[in-house]
Amino acid sequence: MSQKSVQSARDIIAKALESSTNPCFTCSFQAEDVAILDLLRRQRPDVTVLFLETGYHFAALIAYRDRLASEWNLNLVNMEALQPVAVQEDEFGKLYEIDPNRCCSLRKVEPLMRSIANYDLWITGLRREQSPTRANLQPFDTHRFPDGRTLAKVSPLYDWTTAEVFAYLVANEIPVVSLYSEGYTSIGCEPCTAKPAAGEHARSGRWGGSKLECGLHTVSVKES
C-alpha cells in the first residue's frame, strides 16, 4: 500500500472539510467506501453517513453495515424511497426486471436527491478504475442538479486501484463484507448484481451488463 496514495486521500478529505460546515458521505459499504469511511472518521468522527436502503440489498451487506455502524459509532442515516418495496411491486411489478432505470430512479436517485439537499459537501467512493464511465474522474468537482442546486463533490480515492483499496483495509485490520470472498466485485441490489466474467471490469456484473450506472452519479452535470 503506497503511503503516498493514503496521504493524498487524507489531504483531499482535509481540504474538502475545510470549506464545509455540513458534509455527508454516501456509503455503500463496499470496500472503497469503507476505506474512505475509515479515513474520514479520523478527521470528522460525526460526519453524516448516508446509505441507500433500497429494500433489495443482500442480507450479508445489511448485516455488515449494521456491524460497522455499531463498532464505529457511525452517524448513519438510511435513505429510503417514498414507497416500500411491497407497495411499489404491487403497483408496478418487479421494476428491476422490466424497467431497471425506473427502479433505480425511484429507489436510489430520488431518495438521494431529497437527502443531499441538506448538505454542502458530497463525499463519494468513486474511483477511475471501477468502469469506463468513471475513467476521467477528478478528486474535486462541482455538480449542478436538475433543480438548479450546485454541490461540491469529492472523490478522495479517485486514482486508487482495487489492490490499493484492499491493501489499505488489510493494513488497518478492517474486515470486508463476505460477498467479496464469493466472487462479487461490485455490489448493489441483489437482483441486479452478478459476478463478472473473467477479464471484465468490476462493474460489468451489474444490471446484467445492460448499463453501468444507476443514475446517482449521472443525474447531475459537472460544472468544473
E strands, 80-198, in order: 121-123, 140-144, 150-154
**φ/ψ (deg, to 5) at 29:** 65, 25
Length of the chain: 224
Alpha helices in the chain (DSSP H): 3-18, 31-43, 59-71, 85-92, 95-98, 100-104, 110-116, 162-171
| Contact in structure between 36 and 42 (CB atoms under 8 Å) | no
189 tagged catalytic: no
User: Per the residue annotation, which of 103, 104, 192, 214 is the catalytic one?
Assistant: 214
| Contact in structure between 170 and 162 (CB atoms under 8 Å) | no
Q: Active-site residues: which are they?
A: 214
